[in-house]
């Protein structure tokens, strides 16, 4: 099965210059936890609600923009990637969401939950979740 079959299309995105307040509003309005950061349709980063809290608000700096707190150069996959390959990448890199990019343009988004609701073996999804949830280093 190809990732194109399960990805979310018509993805909400923000500009790198968007204020973190505007990004937070987008996350709230669409009930999502992360959003790709783009310059035109090219993905330059990804920002999560946690990024805003940890990298800005907890530091007392609410005047930052998306580029200041995003994770740059996020892992991406193409729409013709196999679902199993995307699951493996998510597991190895400990990530829950992957922007889907074709010809340098954002075309979709896949989250761990998307894998869970499809006809993918429970062991593959379970293994991905286990690896993603394992801390990368001890506390």
Quick check: is 138 in a domain?
no
Instruction: Name 10's Cβ contacts closer than 8 Å, sequence gap at least 6.
Output: none
Which CATH number is 15's domain given?
Answer: 3.10.580.10
Total domain count, the chain:
1
Residue 52 is predicted with a pLDDT of 97
Contact present, 96 and 86 (Cβ < 8 Å)? no
Quick check: is 23 in a domain?
yes
Quick check: is 139 in a domain?
no
Quick check: is 72 in a domain?
yes
Residue 41 is predicted with a pLDDT of 77
Dihedral of the alpha carbons of 139, 135, 130, 53, in degrees to the nearest 10: 110
Quick check: is 30 in a domain?
yes
Domain that holds residue 103: 3-133
80 against 121, higher pLDDT: 80
Q: Tokens 């892992």 belong to which residue?
A: 75
Among residues of the chain, what percentage have pLDDT more than 90?
72
Contact present, 125 and 86 (Cβ < 8 Å)? no
Given the DSSP bridges, would you call strands 97-102 and 105-111 parallel, antiparallel or unpaired? antiparallel
Residue 13 is predicted with a pLDDT of 96
User: Cα separation of 35 and 32, whole Å?
Assistant: 8
- In this prediction the pTM is 0.81
Per-residue CA distances from 63 to 34, 56, 67, 124, 125 (Å): 19, 8, 12, 41, 39
Residue 122 is predicted with a pLDDT of 47
Structure tokens at 15: 């500009």
Residue 127 is predicted with a pLDDT of 55
Quick check: is 127 in a domain?
yes
Quick check: is 122 in a domain?
yes
Among 18-22, 66-70, 81-85, name the one with the lowest average pLDDT.
81-85
3-state secondary structure of 110: strand
Residue 132 is predicted with a pLDDT of 45
């Amino acid at each position: 099965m190809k990732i194109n079959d399960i990805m979310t299309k018509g993805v909400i995105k923000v500009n790198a210059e968007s204020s973190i307040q505007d990004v937070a509003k987008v996350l709230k309005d669409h009930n999502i936890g992360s959003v790709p950061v783009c310059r035109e349709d090219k993905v330059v980063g990804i920002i999560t609600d946690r990024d805003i809290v940890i990298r800005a608000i907890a530091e007392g700096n609410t005047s930052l923009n998306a580029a200041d707190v995003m994770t740059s150069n996020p892992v991406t996959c193409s729409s013709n990637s196999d679902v199993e390959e995307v699951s493996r990448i998510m597991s190895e890199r400990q990530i829950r969401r992957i922007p889907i990019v074709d010809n340098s343009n954002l075309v979709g988004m896949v989250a761990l939950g998307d894998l869970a609701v499809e006809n993918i073996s429970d062991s593959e999804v379970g293994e991905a979740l286990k690896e993603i949830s394992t801390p990368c280093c001890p506390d």
